[in-house]
C-alpha cells in the first residue's frame, strides 16, 4: 500500500521538482555588454528561474548540463527571414509548387535555422509562414519561434507584384495580384485582412527591390498617405510595420509614416538618418543579403539581366549604409534576409557588422536585446530570471572572433534541448 502511495502521489511530485542547471564557462550579458565567468543558470519548465555566480550545488534530482568549456548566450533573434524559400535560379518554381510543397520543404529550413542558434525569427514574407509558426508552436515540426507577416503589401508594379515580367494576359490573374494594393482604402483593407489571417507584423514594400522583375530597385512605391494608412491601421490592430526600403525617398516616407523598422536601407541619406534617430526607427541592415545576391549575380544565368544589374549595385553599398547608420547612433536590430542566401548561414551577418565598425558585444546585443525590443517581446533576448529559457552555446570566444558564431554546439528553446554536442 505504501509503495502504491509513493508511485501515485510522491513520485510525481519529485519528478515535477526536477530543475535543469546549466554550468557556463563564459556567459554573455548583452544588456550590460559584459562577459561573466563561471556562472550557473537554473531552468524550471520553459523559464529561467535564477542566474548565479559560480557552479552552484544542486539537488540530486536536478539535471546538470555542463557547458564549462563553452561561451553561453541568449538564443539569437533574426528580425528578417523568409522561412519558406531559399535562393534558386529556377524562376519557374512558383508555377510548379503548391503551398503544401513549399511548406514541406520549409520544415527543413526551420530546423536548420534553430540548429544554427536562432531561437526566434521575424518572417517578413511568405505564403506558408503563418502555418509554419502554428505548426512549430504545436510541436508538429522543429523550428524557431516565428513572428510572421504573411504576404507583404505592394503597389502595382512594385517589388511584391508577382506579375512583373509576365505577358499581358497573365498580369490579371487574381492569385498573382493578391498582395497588390493601391490607394488608402485598399491599404487599410489589406492590413485588416493580414490581421484576420493571423499575422504578427505587417510588411510593406516602400520602395523597389532587387530580386523582382522591375527595372528600378530604389524608387518609392507608395505615397506617404498610403504608408500612413498602413501604419495607422496596423497600430489599431496592435501590429508593428516593417518597411522594405532601399531608396532614400521611400525610406523617409516610411519613417515619417511611423514604421517600426527600415529593412535594408541601402541608399539612405543624411536626412533619413536624422529622421530615424528622431523617430526611434530601427535599422535592420541585412548586409549578408546584399553580398550574397551580388555573388550570385556573377554566376552566368543565375538571375535575369534586369535583376543581376541591381544585385551587383546593392552588394557594393549595403554594408556602407549600415556603417553610416550605426556610427550616427541609429538603433540597430539584427536581420539577414535568410532565404535570399542559404539558411543556416545567418551568423555571417555578425562578421559583416563587425567589419563595418560595430564591436562584437554590440553585434550580439543587436541579435538579442535590441531584436527583442523591436519585436515587442520582453520574454526573450536575455538570460535573466523570468524570461524564456532560450539559451545557446558556442565553441571559443566570439567576443574575440565572431566567426565562432558558426560553431553552435548547444541550443535550448523554452527549456527544451534541441542540440547538445
Residue ranges in 39-148 assigned as alpha helix (H): 93-96, 99-115, 129-137
Between the CA atoms of 122, 126, 130 and 135, what dihedral angle is there, to the nearest 10 degrees? -90
Grid coordinates given for 155: 503597389
CATH fourth-level superfamily of 76-375: Metal-dependent hydrolases (3.20.20.140)
Helix, strand, coil percentages in the chain from 3-state DSSP, rounded to 5: 40, 25, 40
CA angle, 223 then 227 then 232, to 5°: 145
Rounded to the nearest 5°, which phi and psi values hold at 43?
A: -115, 135
Whole-number pLDDT of residue 382: 98
- Alpha-carbon distance of 286 to 272, in angstroms, equals 18
Distance of alpha carbon 254 from the chain centroid: 20
**Could you tell me what percent of the chain has a pLDDT over 90?**
80
The one-digit pLDDT tens for each residue of the chain (421 residues) are 555 544 545 555 555 568 999 999 999 999 999 999 999 999 999 999 999 999 998 888 899 999 999 999 999 999 999 999 998 887 777 677 888 998 999 999 999 999 999 999 999 999 999 999 999 999 999 999 999 999 999 998 888 777 676 667 766 766 666 789 999 999 999 999 999 999 999 999 999 988 888 888 889 999 999 999 999 999 999 999 999 999 999 999 999 999 999 999 999 999 999 999 999 999 999 999 999 999 999 999 998 898 899 889 888 899 999 999 999 999 999 999 999 999 999 999 999 999 999 999 999 999 999 999 999 999 999 999 999 999 999 999 999 999 999 999 999 999 999 999 9
- Alpha-carbon distance of 63 to 21, in angstroms, equals 6
Whole-number pLDDT of residue 242: 98
Whole-number pLDDT of residue 2: 59
Whole-number pLDDT of residue 158: 82
Burial 338-357, CB ≥16 within 10 A → b, else e: bbbbebbebbbbbbbbbebe
- Over the stretch 141-198, which tens digit does the pLDDT of each residue have? 999 999 999 999 999 888 877 767 666 776 676 666 678 999 999 999 999 999 999 9
CA angle, 343 then 346 then 352, to 5°: 140
Q: What is the third-level CATH fold of 16-74+382-420?
A: Urease, subunit C; domain 1 (2.30.40)
Domain locations in the chain? 16-74+382-420, 76-375
Whole-number pLDDT of residue 10: 52
Amino acid at each position: 500500500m505504501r509503495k502504491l502511495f509513493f508511485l501515485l502521489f510522491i513520485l510525481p511530485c519529485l519528478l515535477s521538482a526536477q530543475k535543469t542547471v546549466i554550468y557556463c564557462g563564459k556567459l554573455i550579458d548583452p544588456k550590460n555588454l559584459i562577459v561573466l565567468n563561471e556562472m550557473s543558470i537554473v531552468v524550471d519548465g520553459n523559464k529561467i528561474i535564477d542566474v548565479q555566480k559560480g557552479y552552484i550545488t544542486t539537488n540530486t534530482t536536478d539535471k546538470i548540463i555542463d557547458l564549462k568549456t563553452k561561451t553561453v548566450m541568449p538564443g539569437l533573434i533574426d528580425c528578417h527571414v523568409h522561412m519558406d524559400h531559399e535562393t534558386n535560379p529556377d524562376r519557374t518554381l512558383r508555377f510548379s509548387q503548391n503551398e503544401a510543397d513549399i511548406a514541406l520543404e520549409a520544415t527543413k529550413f526551420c530546423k536548420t535555422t534553430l540548429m544554427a542558434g536562432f531561437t526566434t525569427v521575424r518572417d517578413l514574407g511568405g505564403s506558408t509562414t503563418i502555418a509554419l509558426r502554428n505548426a512549430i508552436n504545436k510541436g508538429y515540426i522543429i523550428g524557431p519561434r516565428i513572428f510572421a507577416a504573411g504576404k507583404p503589401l505592394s503597389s502595382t508594379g512594385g517589388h511584391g507584384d508577382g506579375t512583373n515580367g509576365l505577358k499581358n494576359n497573365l498580369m490579371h490573374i487574381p492569385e498573382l495580384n493578391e498582395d497588390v494594393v493601391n490607394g488608402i482604402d485598399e491599404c487599410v483593407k489589406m492590413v485588416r485582412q493580414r490581421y484576420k489571417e493571423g499575422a504578427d507584423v505587417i510588411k510593406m514594400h516602400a520602395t523597389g527591390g532587387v530580386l523582382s522583375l522591375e527595372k528600378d530597385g530604389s524608387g518609392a512605391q507608395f505615397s506617404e498617405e498610403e504608408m500612413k494608412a498602413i501604419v495607422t491601421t496596423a497600430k489599431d490592430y496592435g501590429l508593428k510595420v516593417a518597411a522594405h526600403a532601399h531608396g532614400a525617398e521611400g525610406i523617409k516616407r516610411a519613417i515619417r509614416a511611423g514604421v517600426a523598422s527600415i529593412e535594408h536601407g541601402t541608399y539612405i541619406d543624411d536626412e533619413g538618418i536624422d529622421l530615424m534617430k528622431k523617430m526611434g526607427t530601427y535599422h535592420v541592415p541585412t548586409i549578408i543579403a546584399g553580398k550574397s545576391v551580388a555573388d550570385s549575380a556573377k554566376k552566368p544565368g543565375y538571375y535575369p539581366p534586369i535583376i543581376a544589374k541591381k544585385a551587383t549595385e546593392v552588394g557594393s553599398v549595403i554594408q556602407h549604409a549600415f556603417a553610416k547608420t550605426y556610427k550616427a547612433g541609429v538603433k540597430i536590430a539584427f536581420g539577414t534576409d535568410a532565404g535570399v542566401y542559404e539558411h543556416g548561414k545567418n551568423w555571417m551577418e555578425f562578421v559583416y557588422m563587425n567589419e563595418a565598425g560595430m564591436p562584437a558585444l554590440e553585434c550580439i546585443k543587436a541579435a538579442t536585446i535590441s531584436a527583442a525590443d523591436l519585436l515587442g517581446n520582453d520574454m526573450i533576448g536575455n538570460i535573466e530570471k523570468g524570461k524564456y529559457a532560450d539559451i545557446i552555446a558556442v565553441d571559443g570566444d566570439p567576443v574575440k572572433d565572431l566567426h565562432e558564431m558558426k560553431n553552435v554546439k548547444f541550443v535550448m528553446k523554452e527549456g527544451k534541448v534541441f542540440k547538445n554536442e
